[in-house]
Each structure stands twice: as structure tokens, then as C-alpha cells.
Structure 1
Amino acid sequence: MLMEIRGTRLYVDQRGPAAAPPLLFLHGGPGSGTYDFLSFQGDALAQELRLIAVDQRGVQHSDPLVRPVTEHDVIADFEAVREALGIERWSILGHSYGGRLALRYAVAHPATVERVIFENPPWDMELVTRNLVESGLPLLRELGVDQGVDELLADHGPATTQMWTERTGVLHRLGDRRMDVYLGPASRGLKLPADELPEIQSRAGRFAETIIQTPGFVESLLPLLGQLTQPALLIKGGHDPVTSPEEIARFRSDVERGTYRYFEDAGHFVHAEAADAFTQLVTSFVLGR
């Protein structure tokens, strides 16, 4: 359904028993929308949880973006959705870029966020984009499209919008082999259902173009990890190219109530590549089992 939230209409998908513990899903991208995640996990997580998924402003089924947006805007939207639904506290689950938003949200609103789950998050854009390029380097070299990559990796930051654009742009040289970098070997060929929705997927570009220009997008969030007070779960795919070893180490050292789970054979989309195990893990964590 579409909900009037802070001057726009956001698409909010709700599934599961109304009395079950609520879990908010924060999609990645930036600008990817909820359609893919819900296709793999929506009904499964809704067996024991009240799952709420929101297309961020300007994305997929929400109204088109009419003004610039920041990460703080998106978090304010989540809080407004929570209030509109009459939910006192909920757990949150952020995939990829959504894991960045989840960290900001959990630290800014500890009274309303019960538990927080991160799936392959990008907390430090210099480390993330470096890890991304290094993960793709073997295939870039195999295809002979690695020109200038060493120069890009010679820059050790701090992160800038230009760094993000140049480093992430390198993987577009891979064409239809690009997804190979994001998936575990057994998952190669996995199709994301939202690719079948070009008329609304095109909005992702507008959201991304806008938000990457904001200073908050390239700010390292690693210092926030030590401020987490909620139980936190970090899910990492063994073939994920996003979350760097340094970020994992900081989570494990700085988060007092943190739990780390590693899926050796999965990549960036653990929720799709190891769907049943993901459902079980997330459900158990939210229910405190």
C-alpha cells in the first residue's frame, strides 16, 4: 500500500501476523527497492514475524523523487512509518546499502530499534570500493579490461563521490559478467526478479545520483559501531565483494552485543543464495532464540 509520509507517498509492504514481532527491511542499492528481497524472503520471514518492507522515497513503487534526499531523510521516513503503523519498537534488517542505513538508524533511535541485522553492509566507502574492485580484478584481467585499475587502488582516501563513481564504474566494464563478482560459484546465473520491472527500476538511478552527492554518503560509519546498544547480527557471504575484512574486524571488536555469521558458499545475496538458512537465522535472532 502507499502511505503518506513526510510529503511523499511511500510503498509499504506488510506480511505476517499483526501480533508477531515486527521486522523492518531496509533495501540496498542505493535505490534497489524491496521487490527482490520480498521475492526470496517475504513469505518465509512472515511465517513468524510481522515483516514490513518500505521502498525508500523515489524508489520502485513509491512516488518519484521530486527533491534531493539524504540518508537522514530516509531514516526520518522510517521513523514516520513506524509511528503511522502504531509500532512502539521494531527490529531492523538492512541488506547492502540498507545495512549502512540500519547502523545510522539503530544508533540515532535506540529507544525504537530492538535488534539490528546487517547483511553484507558498506560502512566505510573507501574500504568497500577497494574491496569491490579487488574482488573483480581477476575477472577484469581475464577479460583484458583492467586498464587504470592499479591507479584507482593507489588512492587510500578519504572517500569521495568521485572515488565511489570511478571504482564502482570499473565493474560495469564486465558487462553481463558483472554479477559473477557478487555471487558464490554455485549461484552463478541467479536472476534478480526486479530486472523484469524496467519501468520502475529506472527510478533507482535518480535516487542513487542524488544521494551519492551528499556528504553523509561517503562518511565512514565505523565509529558508530561502538555506539550500538542493541543486539546486532552481521551476516557475511564468503564471496561477497562489499564488506571488507577491516569492517568485519571492527564489528567483532567494537560491538558489545554482536554476533557474526559467515556463509562460506554465498555471495552478496545470502537471502537468495542460502534462503532457508537465512530465514531460520533471522527469525531466530529477532525472536531471541
Structure 2
Amino acid sequence: MLIEVRGTRLYVDERGSAEAPALLFLHGGPGSGSYDFLSFQGDRLAKRFHLIGVDQRGVQQSDPLTGPVNETDLVADFEALRETLGLESWAILGHSFGGRLALRYAVLHPTAVSKVIFENPAWDLLLNTETLIRAAQRIEPTIELPPHEGPATTQLLNDRFALLHQLGNRRMEIYLGPDTQDLVLPADTEIPDELHARSGQFSEAIMHTPEFLESLLPLLAQITQPALLIKGSHDPVTSAEEITRFQSDVPTGTYYFAQNSGHFVHAEAADGYTELVTSFLS
């Protein structure tokens, strides 16, 4: 259903009992939408939780963008949605880019967030894109990572993403474990092209904001809630440096290394993922 929030309408998929503990899913991409995650985990997690999946403003089944957007806007949308739904607090789960939003949200609104889960988060795009290029080199050794000093820039990220495009239709290989290379993400075939175009517009808008370039690693020390970091053993996004910072800076944190999974642990090891999330939130 569409719910009006802060001047736009967000597509919200609610599953499970309204009396169960609430869990908000924050998708990645930027612009991936919640459809894929809910296809694999929606009915599973809804057995124990009031699961809420939301397409971020401008993404897929939400209303198209009509103006600028940044990460602070998205966090404000989530908080306004919580108030609209009448929830005192909820746990949040952020995948990939959604891990950035989950970190910002947990720090900005600590009383609204009871627990936070990060699945292969992208907290520092300078580190994340370097890790991605290293993974791409295993498929295409001719790809070279240009030297860089200083903070991330829009041009740097554009250049690095362009290198990934050299993989062509093999790009998905770097995101999956060796035993899950045949995984198909449902949104690729079940979401209309028109809605994918909305996601593309959103991605272009968010990636050219100063906030997208910020390293969020300093925020880790401000987490006060119980936190779980899930890292797929073949994930090409979350860097070793980010894992180290989580383990050293988050005293309430738990680290889980998901063997034989890549970037989409929630799909590649669906049953185990459900058990892990359920155990942590319970």
C-alpha cells in the first residue's frame, strides 16, 4: 500500500501480526527496492515479527521523485513512517546501501530503534569500491585500480563504477558465492521497466549528494543499541577495515561471518538467515 509521508507516498509492505515486535527493512542499491528481500525473507520473518518493507522515496513502487533527495531525507522518512504507523519503536535491518541508512537512523533516533542489523553494509564508499574492484579483477585481470589519495569524490566513484561495467553480464558473479551463481533476483523479471526507471533516477540523484561521499565509520562509536553485523564470506562490498572498526568501536556489537554466501545472504542462505535474525532480535 502507499502511505503518505513528508510530501510523498511510500510503498509499504507489512507482513505478520501487528502485535509482534516490529522490524523495518531498509533496502540497498541505491534504488534496489524491497521486493527482492521480501521475496526471500518476507513470509519467513513474518512468522515472528511485524515485518515492514518500504521502497525509499522515488524507488520502484513509491511515488517518483519530484525533487532532490539525500540520506538525511530518507532517515526522516523512516521516522515519519514509524510515527504514522503508531509504533513506539522498532528494530531495523539495512542491507548494503541500506546499512548506511540504518547506521544514520540508529544514531540520530536512538530511542526509536531498539536493535540494528547490518547485512554487508556500505559505510565507506572509498573502501567499498576498492573492495569491489579487487573482486572484479578476479574475473577480469586487465581492470586496474587507479591510485587515489584523500577522501572520496563523485568523479572517483563514477570512475570506479565504470570499471565494474567492464564485466558486462558477468558482473553479478562477484556478488554471489560459488555455490549460488544461479541465483535470480525476482525484481529483475517481475518489476516493470517503468518502476526500474524510477530507481535509476533515484540512484543518480542520491549518488551525487555530499552525504553519499561521507565515511560513516565515525558513527559506529555512537551506536548504543545491540547491533549485529552479517558479512558474507564472498561479499565484495564490506571491507576488512569496516569490520575491524565495527568490532573495536561497537561494544554492543555481534559479528557473524556467513560461510559460502556473497552479498545477498538473505537469499543465498535464506533459512539460516531467518534463524540468525530471529535469534538476535529475540
Match of 2:164 among 167, 171, 174: 171
Aligned to 1:108: 108
Q: Look up the equivalent residue of 1:167 and give its one-letter code.
A: R
Between Structure 1 and Structure 2, how many residues are aligned?
Answer: 280
- Equivalent pairs: percent with the same residue? 63
Q: Distance in 2 between matches of 1:190 and 1:171?
A: 20
Q: Does 1:225 align with 2:212?
A: no
Aligned to 1:15: 15
CA deviations over 1:41-65 (Å, ceiling 9, x no partner)? 0000000000001100000100001
| 3-state secondary structure, aligned to 2:228 | strand
Q: Look up the equivalent residue of 1:195 and give its one-letter code.
A: D
CA deviations over 1:100-127 (Å, ceiling 9, x no partner)? 1000000000010000000000111111
The runs of 4+ residues in structure 1 deviating greater than 2 Å are none
Aligned to 1:191: 184
- Normalization by structure 1: what TM-score? 0.95
Q: CA RMSD in A?
A: 0.8
Q: Distance in 1 between matches of 2:106 and 2:227?
A: 10
Q: Distance in 2 between matches of 1:90 and 1:108?
A: 14
Q: Look up the equivalent residue of 1:162 and give its one-letter code.
A: Q
Aligned to 1:249: 244
Q: Look up the equivalent residue of 2:47 and give its one-letter code.
A: Q
Q: Does 1:259 align with 2:259?
A: no
CA deviations over 1:146-185 (Å, ceiling 9, x no partner)? 2xx23x2x11331111111111221111111100000000
Aligned to 1:138: 138
CA deviations over 1:168-213 (Å, ceiling 9, x no partner)? 2211111111000000000002111111122211211101111111
Q: Look up the equivalent residue of 2:200 and give its one-letter code.
A: G
Aligned to 1:207: 202
Alignment gaps of 5+ in structure 2 = none
Q: Distance in 1 between matches of 2:149 and 2:268?
A: 32
Q: After the TM superposition, which residues 34-53 of structure 1 pair with which residues of structure 2 at under 5 Å, given as runs?
A: 34-53=34-53
Alignment gaps of 5+ in structure 1 = none
* Aligned-residue offset at 1:227: 0.4
Residues 126, 157 of structure 1: 8 Å contact kept:
no
| 3-state secondary structure, aligned to 2:157 | helix
Q: Distance in 1 between matches of 2:198 and 2:254?
A: 35
- Normalization by structure 2: what TM-score? 0.98
Residues 126, 156 of structure 1: 8 Å contact kept:
no
| 3-state secondary structure, aligned to 1:118 | strand
Q: After the TM superposition, which residues 60-99 of structure 1 pair with which residues of structure 2 at under 5 Å, given as runs?
A: 60-99=60-99
Q: Distance in 2 between matches of 1:3 and 1:102?
A: 20
Match of 1:278 among 273, 277, 280: 273
CA deviations over 1:74-93 (Å, ceiling 9, x no partner)? 00000010000000010000
Q: Distance in 2 between matches of 1:56 and 1:21?
A: 22
| 3-state secondary structure, aligned to 1:92 | strand
Residues 187, 273 of structure 1: 8 Å contact kept:
yes
| 3-state secondary structure, aligned to 1:140 | coil
Q: Look up the equivalent residue of 2:182 and give its one-letter code.
A: G
Q: Distance in 2 between matches of 1:157 and 1:166?
A: 15
Q: Look up the equivalent residue of 2:209 and give its one-letter code.
A: T
